Structure 1
Amino acid sequence: MKLKCLSVAAGLVLAFSGMQAAQAAPDSIKFAGCYDLTKSYGFVSPQIAQAARDYVKLLNLHGGIEGHPVEMLIQDHGNEPQRGIECYEKMKREGAITFEFFSTPVSRAMVPRAMADGNVMIQPYAGRGDAVDGEVFTWIFPMGPTYWGQVANDIQYIKNQSKGNLKGIKIAFIYPDYPFGQEPIGVLKTLAAREGFELMLAPHPMPGNDQAAAWTQIRRFNPDWILGWNLSNMHVVASREMKRNGIPISKYISVNWFNEVDINNIGPENAKGIKRGTNVVGGQDHPLIQQIIKELYDKGQGSGERKNMNDVYYNSGLASYVIVAEGARLAIKQYGWPLTPEKMKKGLESIKNFDAGGFIAPITITAKDHGGGGKTRVDMWDGAKWIPQTDWIAAYTDVIQEIVKKESAEFAKNKK
């Protein structure tokens, strides 16, 4: 569905709602978010939850989804799989139609249970990368690019900057030495062998405050580009180390988890030229964000602090539930009420070239591809705002597909 923003208030949300407020049915649609709000993911999950709650409030102001009110159920699991299971069972009893866990260990633990129950589990930005294989992970929806796809798209950007030839180009990969940071390594090694660029791996220990040794290695390597798979304050530490080692910050391309708090901690002017991969726009200029500000925050009805909105974490959470709401809308419109897990699944699998009015990378979800196509782009900080450097792209899809199929086949084999 293409969204036409006739006005800030009448565009994005009314398109989802079906404009049936006067005939709103009493039966509600419930989305469940079991999040780590207090431990490992506490730097990001509260903003994700805030965005989800805000979007549900906005939907309900305009009649809900196809006339049905929406509820956002939120509970903390503290990044503990057992608590995630308890949250899932509770939300299931309360009638949730989708479930999100926003934690790789908890999401991985929940996959078999959601699959066995036939419940829709969304896992944007966390969980199993191979879950984009909808033929194996029939009830799991990443609804966005894997980290494998994102790093491949970053390499394509570097290739474009190198006039289509990566031979002899030096690329350093700095990352925390644990599963999140290690995930792109296989793709990078494969692409290095194919394209002929020189790859240096520079791990650093958790929690990421001590990166000195890694950056000394990078300085000696003298790379043309640096891919940073860091989180939160790790980026700030990296910027200090780059300055200490005389490495221009413009060489640094971050994973999507680089936000405006990090920019402010580095200094907006000092961060000028830094880049990040993303599948959602940053900042507050988009009409959907402006609508939320006008209809919720300006009226004292926001779900958290206004300052959290100027943050790609918030925008990422909002993006997830824009997609979920679109899936629910299509499900009800095509298959009728009541909304069942099977209908919700089919609704998500019928999303085609959807970008929420330019808010996210266009996605097309099918029964085979639950990731939506894997598109991202590279943005650059110009000292005041993020400027797109590329179109939305999905590169080296053959490499990504091969890894996905290999990993999902292992899952299917072990499941039997």
Structure 2
Amino acid sequence: MKFFKKNSLKISDDKRTRAAELSLRESIYPLCLVTVLFFLWGFSYGLLDTLNKHFQEALDITRSRSSGLQAAYFGAYPLASLGHANWILRHYGYKLVFIWGLVLYGVGSLIAWPCILHRSFGGFCAAIFIIGNGLGSLETAANPYITVCGPPRYSEIRINIAQAFNGIGTVVAPVLGSYVFFKHTGTDQKSLENVQWVYLAIACFVFLLAVVFYFSPIPEITDADMAFQAQETHAGTDGRPFRKQYRLFHATLAQFCYTGAQVAIAGAFINYVTETRGNTDSSLGAQFLAGAQGAFALGRFAGSALMKFVRPRWIFFVYMTLCIVFIAPSITQRGNTGMSMLYLTLFFESIIFPTIVALGMRGLGKYTKRGSGFIIAGVSGGAVVPPILFAAADSADSTATAMSVPLAFFVVAWTYAIAVNFVPAYRDVADKFTVVTMSRDF
């Protein structure tokens, strides 16, 4: 593969680099490097779900207050995806955003150390907010990069495979939590000591990874590349003003509602099983969460394989529908039955987020970078829905009853799955990119 000879952090968006026309073989190295980032934020997200319950016990705080972790983490996403990260992406390119996001992630992890040492929940939320800005920056660049780097017709498959490593990260984190965080329980300082070391290790790793990204020859993809791709597939919608990109805004709404529901379910999972299943403590609950996240990761690999044979939009529709089908019984069922419903819900959640990203960016052409900021801003639903769920759980004194909250948000997200399959203005753009390829497959 031919890489750029000059290690530049700025590429003009008016210049075609042909990086969006790479074959599968040519795109392997940059895609593998960027996929590491997916594992990182999966691990960070998995830690958050585990720490939610851990802080309830170690700091003696309520369920609704502990949801401040999710509010701080996901509330940072719009600031990154619509603000600083998107500005860097449009003016400098993907590579600098990767480095910027990793640096913010590392800084937030270092700040977390004294906050945990002094048992400051508010301070730790501030550190999580900085980490959220870093991860929001990485998602703003990595999701569209995976989508557009390589043959267009494989974009949904590429992003789902990459996101499967995100799922692996969410499995590793609860396992770590069950054996490390919950090793010491109660309100003494020892119950928080191991959390400090985990965040110090994260900081060291991400700073090192930022250096690797700086010296790695990552091909840039410009607005000119994307405009050419949209033109060649005859599915471009960038001839219309940005404010009329209605498919994009619908995808953003769906992302907001879906992500909010997903984060709320995962964040409340340990509470759910400890309340509804007999003889289940927080440590065992964290292990069950790891199993549920394993089902989530498995669902992504399965969905990615199915997309090779079935149109991605149909897989998306079926998975989204089954999320609604299986979350509903968890409201009234208890014990192993209720937990099994959540396992199945997480399995079918798996491909929703990355597929919304891929389908929502179809045909944006020169608006691709700007549009990616909007879709990733939809992740801020993770800051809104969990507090609603936990407030409902505190009010009803039942996490199971509060599962009606993510159910309602799933239904709103379902409207996008319906539109992309049955509304021609949505469906035609998706299908043209699927059947037309602009470069050699191999």
TM-score range, shorter chain: under 0.3
Q: What is the TM-score normalised by the length of structure 2?
A: 0.23
Greater percentage in helix = 2
Greater percentage in strand = 1
Q: What is the TM-score normalised by the length of structure 1?
A: 0.24
The structure, 1 or 2, with the larger RCO (C-alpha pairs under 8 Å, 6+ apart) is 2
